[in-house]
Amino acid sequence: MLAKKWADSGLITDERVISSFLETPREEFILRDHTENAYSDYPLPIYSGQTISQPTTVMIMTQALEAKEGMKVLEIGAGSGYQAAILSKLVGKTGKVYSIEFSPELVAYAQQNLRKTGCSNVTVSYGDGSQGFAAKAPYDRIIVTAAAPKIPPPLLEQLNEGGILIIPVDSGFGQTMKKIIKKDGKFVEQELGEFQFVPLRGKYGR
């Protein structure tokens, strides 16, 4: 239903992104109490006071990221592991997704969910994602699932030439989703609209 709505409206035009949504069981990434709302288009609570984003927001971010087969992707904010599972399909067996999560409880939860859904090309680690993950840098793509006061410098430093960073940044009353493209050593910025996210935690967060 949601996939048809996105396609019909022209909001999501990348067939690979829609396929990744259809192939990823959202009900495996939410609390059992909310299973009946797995495909409702709104955020749902998970552990540690966090939420899993509404499907439309996940798809907008995913399409903007332009993840392709064989790429190395860094995700900041694993949450329940749902976004990483979507990315897992897009980078394929030759690609790799590294996800950094500030909450130990959510690290374990995401690892469990990704394991039971067969996402073997995803590694979830505990850490301060606002500082990126230098151990495996640089990355072809970086996606941040929490709002930062401003773009953390380490994320820009860890982005490959030609790479893309998707990040929500505080903009007064809400957050503006930004797409940063590294081109010839410089950063080109685009705005993708206003959204609402939980705050990024850590050195460059709140």
Helix (H) / strand (E) element for 176: namely strand 175-183
**CA torsion through residues 61, 66, 69, 71, sign:** negative
CA nearest neighbour of 90 among 182, 179, 9, 15 = 15
| Active-site option among 9, 20, 53, 99 | 53
Q: Using the structure block, give the residue that is written with the tokens 């540690």.
A: 48
Q: Identify whether 53 is a catalytic site residue.
A: yes
Contacts of 40 (CB under 8 A, 6+ apart): none
DSSP string, 81-133: SHHHHHHHHHH-TT-EEEEEES-HHHHHHHHHHHHHTT-TTEEEEES-GGG--
Pairing of strands 96-101, 122-126: parallel
- List active site positions: 53
